[in-house]
């Protein structure tokens, strides 16, 4: 292991410069809401979110350095610390809570969660996630520096260090944001062309399609070809293997769980919705559980280190070694646990609160270790949530909590733990960035708590707005992860899950594991409709082209091209998410028997061909801004 006494941060421990300032807190809070909203929209569409640390850092540099005319790398780091908290908290919330809205839509006797309920659940999960990470910092960030790469935390530190040289990177992010925002408004606001293009492949009795929107291509570029190809492979397995097989063997037949239509009458989308989705759910659940079992040795090691250091406060006087005091951490955990238990708005019993504390710290440890290896965007938070829901629902059912009350309690427990895992992972990445640039850990931890509070207050309004505009589980917002969580809880509690299909998915996951391939990205591709995984794959192909094509560029220049592409795609994701929220507002504003969104709808006059051509122009803009050289 690397000797950490030799490591010297960019800002020395004995040097004090502006860090926790009014400007950094206000700007960080704004970005927490913006990126939380953008990632909530993205996650509800495709079941994936992306780390907001790098775009938050770039935007911070552009605003603090060039608008406010200030120069402090630690202020920029504080902005991204607070801002990225919004994305992580949003991810945990939208992966689970939409299930409660869907139950309310299906049953008139059930009411959707209130704004207060969402806010308190998110707040408790967010604060616990940060507090649980505090005793892990020394073990993971300091002692394993040079061992755990923390890819996004290290990359964010490099962006901040590069920001000392100029603001070209922030211009790239803003360009991606502006172009994607305009594109999204034209596609889903004016509707000059359909954002989802689909074709029937009659010889195979299946379908194929592509969602021609910026965020998906951006996700593929950021993840790279390998991950995006795995996701696309899952889509190909579902739509070009399983759907044709079901159509072939079920020709003219009625097959459960569908009882009123033959397989032929369902079409490819109907077969995916009623059969493939359950197979994908089984694969995702198995993938999450297998990933946890494979990580057990490192989890036990990290957990034991955390327990040993839990009762000891940091005695060093160095600025860069000061954490929140352990008594504060313990009292904070106790207060959050009591709030979860006693507030009537949260349907969680004493047993549920205990489950949250035990599994919460366990999965905070898992998540912090996992992001140190694979990064926040690839952190299998949903797998942890599924494992939690399976255990929590079984315990609740065994202790007499059944029906909707039991299912709602299980979802709320899963939500808190999902947010804990997401926040702990984000906090560890941010603390890694701070360790490299020389930030003060206790100030970053306070910043994370502020970001969690701001994002928790905002996420309830965002979720209500999106549901009012499009309804969760529909074509516009399929909420794939939350739908999966809903199916898991219903299956355990009421026995309504078609277990045969689920076990088929588990079998597929085992085969993937035997082949030595990553289960979760393939399973997610199998679970999602193929028109979502196709643009992700295209984005990955563009990055692969930049990485492998032989040009006269040096390796350093090639890396710069790829980095600019990542920044541009981060802007695209933020731009589409922001306009998605704006369009949701227009969809709930009444106007002449409809809404403002209906009034500006032009009815896709350009058709599918127009959509493909304009999407090609969008991809060309990604290439252009990636290879464009800075003007002297």
Evaluate whether 211 touches 196 at the Cβ level (below 8 Å).
yes
Beta-strand relationship, 206-211 and 590-591: unpaired
Residue 566: which H helix or E strand, with range?
helix 555-587
Structure tokens belonging to residue 105: 């839509």
Q: pTM score, two decimals?
A: 0.75
Residue 102 is assigned to a structural domain of this protein:
yes
Distance of CA 601 to the CA centre of its chain: 30
Q: 100, 490 in Cβ contact below 8 A?
A: no
Residues of the chain with pLDDT under 70: 1-5, 46, 48, 50-51, 65-71, 162-167, 259, 292, 295-296, 298-317, 373-380, 383, 550-552, 630-632
Would you say residue 127 lies in a domain? yes
pLDDT at 163: 64
Structural domain boundaries, residue 52: 4-10+24-160+295-490
Domain assignment present for 572: no
Cα distances from 404 to residues 110, 220, 409, in angstroms, run 8, 38, 8
So what's the pLDDT on residue 69? 64
Per the DSSP assignment, residues forming a β-bridge with 211 are 196
> How many whole angstroms separate alpha carbon 471 and alpha carbon 456?
21
| Region for residue 604 given its phi and psi (left: phi exceeds 0; alpha: psi -120 to 50; beta: otherwise) | left
By C-alpha distance, which of 222, 313, 291, 330 is closest to 509? 291
Q: Are 388 and 359 in contact (CB under 8 A)?
A: yes
Q: Is residue 522 part of a domain?
A: no
pLDDT given at position 308: 63
For the record, the structure tokens of 267 come out as: 């079409």
Residues 529, 212, 59, CA angle at the centre, nearest 5°?
110
Judge whether 275 and 256 are in contact, CB under 8 Å. no
Strands (E), 361-437: none
DSSP 71-92: --HHHHHHHHHHHHHHHHHHHH
User: What is the token pair recorded at 73?
Assistant: 């790398």
Give domain status of residue 269, yes or no.
no
DSSP letter at 187 equals I
Structure tokens at 251: 């020709």
Chain center to CA of 503: 26
- Quote the pLDDT of residue 512: 94
197, β-bridge pairs: 210
Q: Interhelix angle for 225-237 vs 530-548, to 10°?
A: 150
Taking the CA atoms of 420, 422, 424 and 430 in sequence, report the sign of the dihedral they define. Answer: negative
Give the CA distances from residue 427 to residues 125, 140, 419, 460, 564, in Å, rounded to whole numbers and listed in that order.
Answer: 13, 12, 12, 22, 25
Q: Which residues contact 291 (CB under 8 A, 6 or more apart)?
A: 380, 383, 519, 520
How many structural domains compose the chain?
1
For residue 581, give the nearest of 221, 154, 42 by alpha carbon: 42
How far apart (Å, rounded) are the C-alpha atoms in residues 421 and 89?
9
What is the residue-wise DSSP string for 196-262?
EEEEEEGGGTEEEEEE--HHHHHHHHHH-HHHHHHHHHHHHHIIIIIHHHHHHHTTT---TT--SS-
Residue 71 is assigned to a structural domain of this protein = yes
Interatomic CA distance for residues 385 and 146, integer angstroms: 30
- The answer to whether 320 touches 440, Cβ cutoff 8 Å, is yes
Q: 510: buried, middle or exposed (CB in 10 Å: 19+, 13-18, 0-12)? A: middle
In a domain, 385, yes or no: yes
Q: How far is CA 21 from CA 68, 145, 443, in A?
A: 13, 28, 10
- Residue 48's SS3 state is coil
Spatial neighbors of 244 by CB under 8 A, at least 6 apart, are: 204, 205, 206
Q: How far apart are CA 231 and CA 104, in angstroms?
A: 31
Q: In the structure encoding, which two tokens stand for residue 103, read together?
A: 């139950």
| Burial environment of residue 260 by CB neighbours within 10 A (0 to 12, 13 to 18, 19 or more) | exposed
Partners of 354 in the beta sheet?
A: none
- Whole-angstrom CA distances from 316 to 307, 323, 402, 445, 499 are 20, 10, 51, 17, 55
Is residue 149 in some structural domain? yes
- Cα separations (Å) of 99 from 106, 110, 281, 321, 473? 11, 12, 15, 42, 9
- Can you give the pLDDT at residue 416? 93
The pLDDT score that the predictor gives to residue 314 is 46
What sign for the dihedral angle of Cα 571, 576, 581, 586?
positive
E strands, 267-378, are none
Residue 148 DSSP SS3: strand
């Amino acid at each position: 292991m690397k000797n950490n006494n030799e490591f010297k941060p960019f800002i020395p421990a004995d040097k004090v410069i502006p860090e926790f300032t009014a400007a950094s807190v206000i700007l960080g809070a704004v970005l927490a809401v913006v990126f939380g909203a953008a990632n909530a929209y993205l996650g509800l569409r495709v079941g994936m979110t992306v780390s907001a640390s790098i775009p938050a850092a770039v935007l911070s540099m552009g605003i603090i350095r060039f608008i406010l005319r200030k120069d402090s790398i630690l202020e920029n780091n504080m902005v991204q610390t607070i801002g990225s908290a919004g994305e992580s908290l949003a991810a945990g919330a939208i992966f689970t809570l939409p299930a409660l809205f869907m139950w309310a839509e299906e049953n008139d006797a059930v009411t959707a969660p209130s704004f207060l309920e969402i806010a308190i659940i998110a707040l408790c999960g967010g604060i616990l996630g940060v507090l649980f990470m505090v005793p892990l910092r020394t073990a993971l960030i300091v002692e394993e520096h040079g061992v755990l790469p923390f890819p996004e935390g290290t990359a964010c530190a490099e962006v901040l260090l590069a920001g000392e040289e100029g603001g070209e990177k922030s211009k790239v992010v803003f360009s991606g944001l502006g172009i994607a925002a305009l594109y999204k408004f034209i596609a889903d606001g004016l509707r000059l062309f359909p954002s989802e293009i689909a074709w029937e492949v009659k010889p195979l009795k299946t379908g194929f399609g592509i969602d021609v929107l910026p965020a998906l291509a951006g996700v593929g570029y950021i993840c790279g070809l390998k991950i995006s190809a795995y996701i696309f492979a899952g889509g190909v397995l579902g739509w070009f293997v399983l759907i044709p097989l079901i159509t072939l063997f079920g020709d003219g037949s009625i097959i459960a769980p569908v009882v009123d239509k033959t397989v032929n009458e369902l079409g490819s989308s109907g077969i995916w919705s009623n059969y493939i989705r359950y197979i994908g759910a089984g694969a995702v659940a198995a993938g999450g559980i297998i990933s946890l079992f494979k990580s057990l040795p490192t989890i036990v090691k990290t957990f034991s280190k955390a327990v040993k250091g839990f009762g000891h406060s940091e005695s060093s006087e160095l600025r860069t070694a000061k954490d929140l005091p352990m008594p504060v951490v313990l009292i904070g955990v106790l207060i959050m646990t009591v709030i979860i238990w006693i507030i009537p708005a949260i349907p969680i019993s004493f047993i549920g609160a205990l489950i949250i504390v035990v599994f919460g710290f366990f999965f905070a440890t898992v998540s912090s270790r996992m992001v140190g290896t694979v990064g926040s965007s690839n952190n299998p938070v949903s797998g942890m949530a599924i494992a939690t829901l399976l255990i929590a629902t079984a315990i609740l059912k065994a202790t007499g909590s059944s029906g909707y009350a039991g299912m709602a309690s299980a979802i709320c427990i899963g939500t808190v733990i999902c947010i804990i895992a997401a926040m702990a992972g984000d906090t560890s990445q941010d603390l890694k960035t701070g360790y490299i640039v020389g930030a003060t850990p206790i100030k970053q931890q306070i910043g994370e708590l502020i970001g969690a509070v701001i994002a928790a207050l905002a996420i309830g309004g965002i979720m209500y707005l999106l549901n009012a505009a499009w309804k969760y589980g529909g074509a516009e917002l399929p909420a794939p992860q939350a739908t999966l969580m809903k199916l898991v809880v219903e299956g355990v509690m009421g026995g309504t899950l078609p277990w045969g299909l689920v076990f088929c998915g588990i079998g597929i996951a085992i085969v993937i594991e035997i082949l030595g391939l990553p289960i979760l990205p393939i399973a997610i591709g199998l679970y999602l409709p193929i028109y979502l995984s196709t643009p992700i794959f295209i984005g990955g192909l563009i990055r692969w082209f930049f990485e492998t094509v032989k040009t006269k560029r040096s390796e350093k220049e090639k890396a710069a091209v790829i980095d600019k592409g990542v920044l541009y795609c981060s802007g695209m994701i933020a731009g589409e998410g922001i306009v998605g929220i704006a369009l949701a507002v227009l969809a709930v504003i009444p106007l002449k028997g409809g809404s403002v969104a209906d009034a500006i709808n032009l009815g896709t006059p350009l058709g599918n061909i127009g959509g493909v051509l304009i999407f090609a122009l969008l991809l060309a803009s990604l290439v252009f801004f990636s290879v464009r050289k800075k003007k002297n």
